[in-house]
Amino acid sequence: MSAWRFFLEHRAEILGATANHLTLVLIAMAFAIAIAVPLGMFIVHRPTLRNFALAMASIFQTIPSLALFGFLIPIPFIGGIGRRTAIVALVLYALLPILRNTYVGLTGIDPAVLEAAEAMGMTESQILWRVRLPLARAVILAGIRTATIITIGVATIAAAIGAGGLGTFIFRGVAMVSDAVILAGAIPAALLAIVADLLLGWVERRLRIV
């Protein structure tokens, strides 16, 4: 069976899986941003916590994704089979790029600008909100962009623990030894990643100063 015919015959199902996939990614990204950006702001002036937080986020990234899904299943409240577990795993994966870019963006600011801000009598929190954060936003968004691309890819594996999404076709295709079925999951996932990359790249350029 050709891939094209499979696409046409299953277009409703593929569209549904794409929507499901996108929902997984959006929920996971919302949580990851809500955790990593404030955490990044919090660790700017706290070196001990900074090292710990960045190390933890790095460790999550080194765990193979399928293993991470597996590890989470037996954990009470966040674990089990299904969407919730998948979202937890995706959030853990997305943390590092966002956290690291937030931190790098907030600290990589022209020292003359920070010195001037301090000498003008701005408080530490005024410097953070009015100087560091606006100047770091393009770098932070670059981290969100990277994390989104990663999450779109990793979310295909979430099908292995029953979370649905485009991975459903990929796993089914592997089991059936059918390229057409694999492509029905892989092509929409790749398209999602490309569109997200272009869109966020455009926003990032708009946010860049100078």
Partner 1 sequence: MNPKTVPEYLHPTIQFQNVTYSINGSVHHTLVSGIDLSVDSGQTLVLLGRSGSGKTTLLKLINRLLVPTDGQVVVRDRPTIEWDPIQLRRGIGYVIQEAGLFPHFTVAQNVALVPSLENWDAARITARVNDLLTLVGLDPAQYASRRPHELSGGQRQRVGVARALAADPPILLMDEPFGALDPVTRAELQREFNALAKRLGKTIVFVTHDLREALLLASRIVLLEKGRILADATPQEFPRIDHPEVRAFTASLAPLSGVQI
Instruction: Tell me which residues touch partner 1 (CB under 8 A).
Output: 110, 112-113, 115-123, 126, 131, 134-135, 209-210
Closest to partner 1 by CB, 35 vs 122, is 122
Neighbours of 110 (CB within 10 A): 9
Closest to partner 1 by CB, 35 vs 135, is 135
The amino acid sitting at 41 is M
* Separation of alpha carbons 85 and 183, rounded Å: 25
CA dist 117 → 110, 121, 129, 132, 139 (Å): 11, 7, 12, 10, 20
Q: Least separation, in Å, of the C-beta of 166 and partner 1?
A: 39
Closest to partner 1 by CB, 78 vs 134, is 134
CB 72 within 8 A of CB 89: yes
Structure tokens at 187: 């092509």
Q: Least separation, in Å, of the C-beta of 129 and partner 1?
A: 12
Q: Least separation, in Å, of the C-beta of 19 and partner 1?
A: 37
Closest to partner 1 by CB, 74 vs 111, is 111
Q: Least separation, in Å, of the C-beta of 208 and partner 1?
A: 10
